[in-house]
Amino acid sequence: MPDNPAQKFLQMRGASREDAKFFWSGGPVEIAPRTWFVSRFSGITAFETDEGLVLVDSGLKIMAADLAATLRTVTKAPVHTAIFTQGHTDHAFGLEAFLMPGQPRPRIIAHRAMPARFERYARTAGYNAAINARQFGGTVRAANEDGYKTFGFPALPPDTLYDQRMDITVGGLSFQIHHCRGETDDHSWIYCPKRSVLCPGDLMIWAVPNAGNPQKVQRYPWDWAAGLRAMAAVAPASLCPGHGGPVVNDPALCRRILLETADFLEAIVTRTLAVMEQGAPPHVDIVQAVELPVSDSPWLQPVYDDAEFIIRTVIRYFGGWYSGRPGELKPAPRAALAGEIAALAGGAGALATRAEALVTAGDMRLACHLADFALEADPGNAAVQAAAARVYEARAESETALMVINIFNSAAAYAREGLPHTIVPEIGFRGTKARSPR
């Protein structure tokens, strides 16, 4: 079954931030005088001033009413200014719920790249709904649920854009807004010097940084690390993360979190580039050759993204899409390739049987390759479907990162239906008709 994040958040209710990690929820937590943090899936921070609230992020639209109601137990001030740390739907789409009745539209600040993100969302709304359903719900079928039909423009988009840095003052309280490419190209981090509160957005999420997400667009771990060092340099006393619990009045811990995470990212980037420099080996070979850093710190555990995927992010940016395997430059249809391999192996059933034997032997990676080929060679074979599904489910159970678990659970669900490519018949391919191989 899909490892639904909603269940993880429920399971972690009441747990410490160190135990819950990415899945902490709670609040309102008083971070500094007249400053509160609340998190339901993602976090929001409210700074009360004499002119109204400065609100950093606004949560998912479906979570925003709960976030706002929780915040309103401690402050009734209207929202004067909202700042979106990035354009993802769990940061920039819930603002309406926070507005007090009759209040004027607040100023909404974001990086200049954010409107282009919303345009891309509008052009690929179905695609984004599908991949997020797979990442969070386990199957593409869930894309038809209302919770995933959120890609496009928010009801209240930004009206004030900046490039590299913007300083604002609201009610006598100053804020620094800095651009830093990281999880997104439109990412910002915010610092309030007087209250010594840092809002890093998703540049800190109580997990291995989400810098390698396999279904999403390019991410920037090298700039991310530089941004973390810049944040450490302002020496915040408190930190309100994009996901997970806040750090309150503990400057030493804030510094440690920021610098350890920067070191972690820089190690992966440096090691990946060093392997790439060794004659541009095939991408899979690079992934296998890079030694990943390991940390015992609770804020660097692979509970959401997987550190191995960050290697892929570096390769994609610096090395392009060609895998380095000549046969994959202009490949044959996968079904044809799978059919040839199955014929050599004695049939799709033989491949599936061997895949399950490899699971028993503990070689999950190789098992999944054989399960792929078996299912693609004979997708209508009920025994092959069941065997492939068992392989993918075993792989999911062996993993720790939410997105890895759900992608394999998704693969298992489709295998049981004889759909090796996770294409739902009623959704299917739209647009260009597949051309004949040549």
Cα 375 to chain centroid, rounded? 29
Task: Examine the domain organization and report whether 215 and 361 are in the same domain.
Answer: no
Contact at 8 Å (CB) between 342 and 374? yes
Strand partners, 339: none
How far from 288 is each of 170, 276, 299, 305, 400, CA to CA, in Å?
A: 51, 12, 24, 18, 19
> Which of these, 154, 153, 155, 128, lies nearest to 143 by C-alpha position?
128
Cα within 13 Å of Cα(176), Cβ side: 17
Task: Examine the domain organization and report whether 248 and 339 are in the same domain.
Answer: no
Domain closes at, from 264, 293, 308: 264
d(CA 186, CA 161): 10
Task: Examine the domain organization and report whether 336 and 256 are in the same domain.
Answer: no
Note whether residue 273 is domain-resident.
Answer: no
Total domains in the chain come to 2
Q: Which range of residues forms the domain containing residue 344? A: 332-415
Report, as an integer, the average pLDDT of 262-289.
97
Q: Please state the pTM of the whole predicted model.
A: 0.93
pLDDT digits (tens, 9 = 90+) for 170-215: 999 999 999 999 999 999 999 999 999 999 999 999 999 999 999 9
Note whether residue 241 is domain-resident.
Answer: yes
> Which of these, 77, 150, 157, 144, lies nearest to 116 by C-alpha position?
157
Instruction: Kindly report the backbone phi and psi dihedral angles of residue 412, in degrees, each rounded to the nearest multiple of 5, phi listed first.
Output: -65, -40
Note whether residue 293 is domain-resident.
Answer: no
Task: Examine the domain organization and report whether 336 and 203 are in the same domain.
Answer: no
Task: Examine the domain organization and report whether 343 and 253 are in the same domain.
Answer: no
d(CA 111, CA 99): 22
Strands of 173-179's sheet in order across: 165-170, 173-179, 188-192, 197-201, 238-241
Q: What pLDDT, on the 0 to 100 scale, is given for residue 255? A: 98
Task: Examine the domain organization and report whether 247 and 390 are in the same domain.
Answer: no
Note whether residue 435 is domain-resident.
Answer: no
Contact at 8 Å (CB) between 395 and 367? yes
Q: What is the CATH number of the domain that holds 340?
A: 1.25.40.880
Task: Examine the domain organization and report whether 247 and 337 are in the same domain.
Answer: no
Contact at 8 Å (CB) between 55 and 67? no
Q: What is the CATH number of the domain that holds 260?
A: 3.60.15.30
Note whether residue 366 is domain-resident.
Answer: yes
355 pLDDT exceeds 50? yes
Q: What pLDDT, on the 0 to 100 scale, is given for residue 5? A: 62
Note whether residue 247 is domain-resident.
Answer: yes
Domain closes at, from 236, 264, 292: 264
How far from 157 is each of 53, 93, 106, 114, CA to CA, in Å?
A: 18, 8, 11, 9
Task: Examine the domain organization and report whether 131 and 239 are in the same domain.
Answer: yes
d(CA 142, CA 136): 9
Note whether residue 14 is domain-resident.
Answer: yes
d(CA 14, CA 25): 8
Check residue 74 and report its DSSP letter. Answer: T
Domain closes at, from 215, 249, 264: 264
pLDDT digits (tens, 9 = 90+) for 43-97: 999 999 999 999 999 999 999 999 999 999 999 999 999 999 999 999 999 999 9
Task: Examine the domain organization and report whether 239 and 353 are in the same domain.
Answer: no
Band (3; pLDDT cuts 50, 70, 90):
low
Strands 79-83 and 165-170: unpaired
Note whether residue 100 is domain-resident.
Answer: yes
